[in-house]
Structure 1
Amino acid sequence: MMNFRKAATAAGLVLGIVTGLVGPAAADVPAAIKERGKVLIAIDVSHPPYGMLDSQARETGSDVETAKLLAEDMGVALEIVPVSGANRVPSLLSRKVDMVIASFSITEERKKVIDYSRPYGVIPVVISAPQDMGIAAPADLAGQALAVARGTTADIELSRIVKESGVNARIVRYEDEATTNTAVATGQQKILAAALSTANEVSEQNPGLNLEVKLDMAAYPMAVGLRKGDDELKAWVDEWVGQNLENGKLNAIYEKYFHQPLPDVIPES
């Protein structure tokens, strides 16, 4: 099987031949962004390690570094527009932002109303619970309450699992990741459905809870969210993703925050 980076190189060369471009810097930045002099990017800064605030209240995290890299390659300033998991799509559709970089996984439901760039990462979603809880299959969730952030991929997958298995479980939806995590950390809820990185973080910050991953729900490709019809911007971002996967910059960001490299082949959906 062809190595992903070799495949990306070949694809990039073909694209360059067809379009006459040699990289993101050579492509035309959409006029509205160029004229404005800054790109407006929605980021959830309450969802570590994707987005968070450091000790000096500055935005940091993998999504923030990805957005900074994109703005730098565009040659414009970056303006971060804070969002939650639930209002990522509305902020895009209402034109409050140019794009979304907020642990934004590709789902069929979202694809009905928005567009996506080429994927640049992956997001595993899991169910975690205390070690002494015997959860090995969806049926073991019967009678349990499960905390999840509204509108996230974990919410989508948890809803699917509960519906398909027919298990009598109660989904408790919170408005954002921070509130969800607090509910688990303070003992309001015992079971958490979330991205693997979030589940690990809650476990590490609350060792007394003895949380562990019980069920793997899915692994979603992660991409930049865009409005349908913004074809020029999508073309630019797609090329940007390809170049920065090839040169290793996106992988370096992923490794820094997730302590593992990107997969050789990132699924498209």
Structure 2
Amino acid sequence: MTLFRSALVATCLTVAAMGAHADLLDDIMKSKKIRISTDFAIPPAGMMDANMQPSGSDVETAKLLAKDWGLEIVWVPTTGATRIPNVNTGKADIIISTLSVTPERAKVIDFSKPYAVLQSVVGAPKATAIKDWADLKGKSVTVTRGTTQDTELSAMANDKGFKVVRYDDDATMVTAGATGQAEAVATSVALVNAISSKSPNKPWEPKFVIRNFDLAIGTKQGEPRLQAKLNEWVTANLKNGKLSDIYKKYYGVALPASMTN
């Protein structure tokens, strides 16, 4: 009987604890606010406009989500390295910040269905003869710390014979490229173009594609209702074309038909 009572008490405590667990979706809807982690230094996904207001494809995606859900946005400015810690420590509710889906990240956060894509490339000055990985031997490749490019290139640097140089944010990486501090970069096509625009006398270009990544909304693990609502929202706005319109506005092309269909 003593063992039975102990087990019963333990069960009751467990149930009580589960009942006391705050549901993040309920918290968001009750507060009528959603805290969104976004990087404002990675044009055209996130940037500040002439009036110092957030702009870009991820910003418009976040605004569309907040409008559809009837919520006010509380921006949580971030860098590539702090996006995931922001949601896991409760500083932000979700991440909308060029967050590509990878198996490593899926171990620590949950993802919505993809809402956009990111082409990851190696970029360098046009005059530099780089066509594939072999041409990077003996060179330094600059990445933004905590990005998928950082993870991928760090794993292959020794075998391919190049060095990885890390900066803490995309803006600093772009400056490094534009001022000649970087020989080559591994990043998105948009950021290679940003380097080129800042260095008109020494234009840059994408040299070869590393891979294409799905971009998704990130959430803390263990919030199935929030994830389900995000998936429903992504599906609806891919179908009605609004997410593709946002993407085309900033990248010049529509989302792949495989996503919108």
Contact preservation (8 Å) 1:138, 1:162:
no
1:260 maps to 2:253:
yes
- The counterpart of 1:83, out of the listed 78, 85, 92, is 78
TM-score normalized by the length of structure 2: 0.88
Unaligned runs of 5+ in 1: 1-28
Deviations, residues 231-257 of structure 1 (Å, cap 9, x unaligned): 010010000000000111101100000
Tell me which residue corresponds to 1:198: 191
Which has the larger Rg? 2
Alignment of 1:39-58 (within 5 A): 39-58=34-53
1:167 maps to 2:160:
yes
- Read off the aligned partner of 2:30 and give its amino acid letter: E
Tell me which residue corresponds to 1:239: 232
Higher relative contact order (CA 8 A, sep 6+): 1
Q: What is the alpha-carbon distance in structure 2 between the residues aligned to residue 30 and residue 141 of structure 1? A: 46
Shift of 1:161: 4.1
Tell me which residue corresponds to 1:125: 120
Tell me which residue corresponds to 1:115: 110
Q: What is the alpha-carbon distance in structure 1 between the residues aligned to residue 155 and residue 163 of structure 2? A: 13
Contact preservation (8 Å) 1:45, 1:51:
yes
- The counterpart of 1:210, out of the listed 203, 209, 231, is 203
Unaligned runs of 5+ in 2: 1-23
Give the SS at the match of 2:52.
coil
Q: What is the alpha-carbon distance in structure 2 between the residues aligned to residue 215 and residue 161 of structure 1? A: 16
Shift of 1:37: 1.4
Contact preservation (8 Å) 2:109, 2:221:
yes
Root-mean-square deviation (CA, aligned residues, Å) is 1.4
Deviations, residues 21-46 of structure 1 (Å, cap 9, x unaligned): xxxxxxxx921011111000000001
- Read off the aligned partner of 2:89 and give its amino acid letter: S
Shift of 1:116: 0.1
Tell me which residue corresponds to 2:19: none
Give the SS at the match of 2:160.
coil
Contact preservation (8 Å) 1:158, 1:217:
no
Q: What is the alpha-carbon distance in structure 2 between the residues aligned to residue 182 and residue 200 of structure 1? A: 12
TM-score normalized by the length of structure 1: 0.85
Tell me which residue corresponds to 1:12: none
Give the SS at the match of 2:259.
coil
Alignment of 1:219-234 (within 5 A): 219-234=212-227
Contact preservation (8 Å) 2:238, 2:259:
no
Shift of 1:202: 1.5
Tell me which residue corresponds to 1:176: 169
- The aligned length equals 237
Tell me which residue corresponds to 1:16: none
Shift of 1:204: 2.6
Give the SS at the match of 2:258.
coil
Deviations, residues 52-92 of structure 1 (Å, cap 9, x unaligned): 00111100000110000001111111111100001101111
- Read off the aligned partner of 1:150 and give its amino acid letter: R
Tell me which residue corresponds to 1:137: 132
Deviations, residues 156-211 of structure 1 (Å, cap 9, x unaligned): 23234435xx1221110000001111111111112111111111221133222221
